[in-house]
Structure 1
Amino acid sequence: MPKKPNHKRTGKGGLHTNKPQARKPQESGEAVESEEMVYGRNPVLETLKSDRDVNKLFVQDGLEGGKISSILSEAKKRKVQLSFVPKSKLDTLSDGGNHQGLVLATSPVNYASIDELFELAEKKNEQPFFLLLDGIEDPHNLGSILRTADASGVHGVILPKRRAVGLTSTVAKASAGAIEHVLVARVTNMATTIDELKDRGLWIFGTDMKGKDYRHWDVSSPVGLVIGNEGKGISRLVKDKVDETLSIPMVGHVQSLNAGVASGLLMYEVYRKRHAL
C-alpha cells in the first residue's frame, strides 16, 4: 500500500456505521431526461428484464428470429404494448442509431446515490470497488466501460455532472444492456466526492505514465479508481486528491491507451487479485 495519508479511514470494510448526510436531490436519484428511447436487441431485452418502467415496444414489420421471439415473449410477460412499424419509423425514433429493428420507449434512467454503491458492496460482503470517471466525453467509451464494469464486478461508477457524457441511449446501446445492471452515481464535484470516499475508507488511485506499475497494485482494501478524460487525462484538482498513481507498461510506439481499454485492464486486475484461482 502507499504511505498512509492524513485523512482518517474507519469502519468495517471502509463503511461508517453512521451514514453521512444525504446528498442533494440533483446528485442522486435524478432522471437523465424526460423520455428515453432504448434501441438494439441486447439493450431492449435487458431493459425489459430490469425493474425500469417500460411503455411501448416498437418492432420493425416482418422481423423474425429466435432473439426477436425471446424479446416479444418478455414484452408480453410484462404486458408492454407492441407496435409494428416500418423501418423508417424506427430510424426516426432512434435518431438514426443502429436499432436492429427494435426501439423501446421507457421511463428515464435514474442515477444511484453514493450510499447505494456502498450498500451493494456490503450486501455482497466485498470490499468496495468504485470507478470514478473524470470527464469521459465519448458515449461509446462510457458504454464500453459500463459493460466491463458489470462483467468484472465493479460496485458502482461515479460520473461528474458537468463536462462529461451521461446515461444516454447511445451509451445504453454501447453497453449492450449493462447500463441496467451497473449502479451509476452523478456528482457535482468530483474532488469533494473523493474526500468523502476517503473519509469512508477508500484508497483512491489514478492513472499516470509515471505511476507505479499496476501489477504491483494492492487491491485488498476498499478501492476507488479514477480514469481521466480521453484527451486530457485526469484533471489537476482530482489528481491532487489521489493516494497513488498507476501506470500500464507499454513497449510499442504509442504510449497511451484508449480510456475504455485502460479501465478494462485495471478493472480486471482488481478482479484477478480478489478472485484467485
Structure 2
Amino acid sequence: MDETGQPTEREIGVGPWEGHWPTGEHYDPELLREGDRRNVVDEYRYWSHDAIVADLDTRRHDFHVAIENWQHDFNIGTVVRTANAFMAKEVHIIGRRRWNRRGAMVTDRYQHVRHHPSVEEFVAWAESEGLPVLGVDLFPDSRPIETYPLPQRCVLVFGQEGPGLSDEVREAAQDTLSIAQFGSTRSINAGTAAGIAMHAWIRQHRFAG
C-alpha cells in the first residue's frame, strides 16, 4: 500500500544489499549496489550473469531439445523457457535463425541455444555427438511417451505448430513418440507438448527408483 492506502505494483526481486557486502567473485557489484530485479531463483540473487551460467553448466541434464522453425513459430520462446526450467543441455533451432524471444522471458540468456540451418546439418551434429534423435508427434506408428524408456542422452525434437515434424526429421528419428490425449482436439500446443516430454525425461532419470 502507498501512503494513500492504494495498492502499489508488486516489485520483482530484491533491492540494494543492506549492510556489509558479501565476498566472492560470483557477486555483481552493480547488482549489490542497485538491487537485483531479474527473474532468477533466490539462490542466484546478486550473482553476475556469467557466474550463473557457469554454475548451471555444472548441473545441466543430458537431454537436448530441438524445434523446427520454418515459419517463425511463437512456441520457441516457451520451449526455451521450459528447457531452462528442466535444465536441458541445449536447445537447438532448426531452420530460421531468428525466433520470437518474448515467450522465453529472458531465460535464453541462461540457456544455451544452438542454430542449425537445415535438418541435414542438425542430424549430422546429433550423430557426431552420439545422440539418438526422438521425434515427438502424433503419428500412427508413434510409441507412447508414457511407457517409452527414454535414453539418458538424447535429443527430443518438436515440429512447428500446425504442420508438426517434417518428413526429414521423421526419417532421421530413432522413434517418434506420442502424448496421450483424451479430448476432442487432434493435437496439443507444441510448447505444451515440449514441456510434457521434458518432464517425462525428468521423471525417468531424476526420480526413478
> Fold-level match, TM-score > 0.5?
yes
Partner of 1:141: 75
Identity %: 22
The equivalent position to 1:247 in structure 2, one of 149, 161, 178, is: 178
The structure that is helix-richer by fraction is: 1
Matching of residues 44-63 of structure 1 within 5 Å: none
Partner of 1:238: 169
> Is 1:203 matched up with 2:138?
no
1:226-269 per-position Cα deviation (integer Å, ceiling 9, x unaligned): 10010111111121101001011111110101100111100111
Q: How many Å separate the matches in 1 of 2:94 and 2:109?
A: 19
In the superposition, relative to structure 1, how do residues 68 and 182 fare at CA in structure 2: closer, same or farther (>3 Å)?
Answer: closer
> Is 1:214 matched up with 2:158?
no
Letter in 1 for 2:11: K
Partner of 2:115: 186
Q: How many Å separate the matches in 2 of 1:142 and 1:204?
A: 18
Q: How many Å separate the matches in 1 of 2:60 and 2:109?
A: 22
Cα deviation for residue 175 of structure 1 reads 1.8
Aligned residues: 170
> Is 1:67 matched up with 2:11?
yes
Partner of 1:166: 98
1:116-161 per-position Cα deviation (integer Å, ceiling 9, x unaligned): xxx99984385x2111101264564222111111111111111124
Q: How many Å separate the matches in 1 of 2:13 and 2:170?
A: 49
Asked whether the equivalents of residues 120 and 155 of structure 1 are also in contact (C-alpha less than 8 Å), the reply is no
Letter in 2 for 1:180: R
The structure that is strand-richer by fraction is: 1
Asked whether the equivalents of residues 73 and 160 of structure 2 are also in contact (C-alpha less than 8 Å), the reply is no
1:71-124 per-position Cα deviation (integer Å, ceiling 9, x unaligned): 788x98169xxxxxxxxxxxxxxxxxxxxxxxxxxxxxxxxxxxxxxx999843
Q: How many Å separate the matches in 2 of 1:121 and 1:239?
A: 31
Q: Gapped runs of 5+ residues in structure 2? A: 1-7, 18-27, 33-53
Asked whether the equivalents of residues 137 and 230 of structure 1 are also in contact (C-alpha less than 8 Å), the reply is no
In the superposition, relative to structure 1, how do residues 200 and 120 fare at CA in structure 2: closer, same or farther (>3 Å)?
Answer: farther
Q: How many Å separate the matches in 2 of 1:140 and 1:154?
A: 20
TM score, norm. by length of structure 1: 0.53
Higher RCO (Cα < 8 Å, 6 or more apart): 1
The ranges of structure 1 where at least 4 consecutive aligned residues each deviate by more than 6 angstroms after the TM superposition are: 119-122
Asked whether the equivalents of residues 67 and 92 of structure 2 are also in contact (C-alpha less than 8 Å), the reply is yes
> Is 1:77 matched up with 2:30?
yes
RMSD (Å), alpha carbons: 3.3
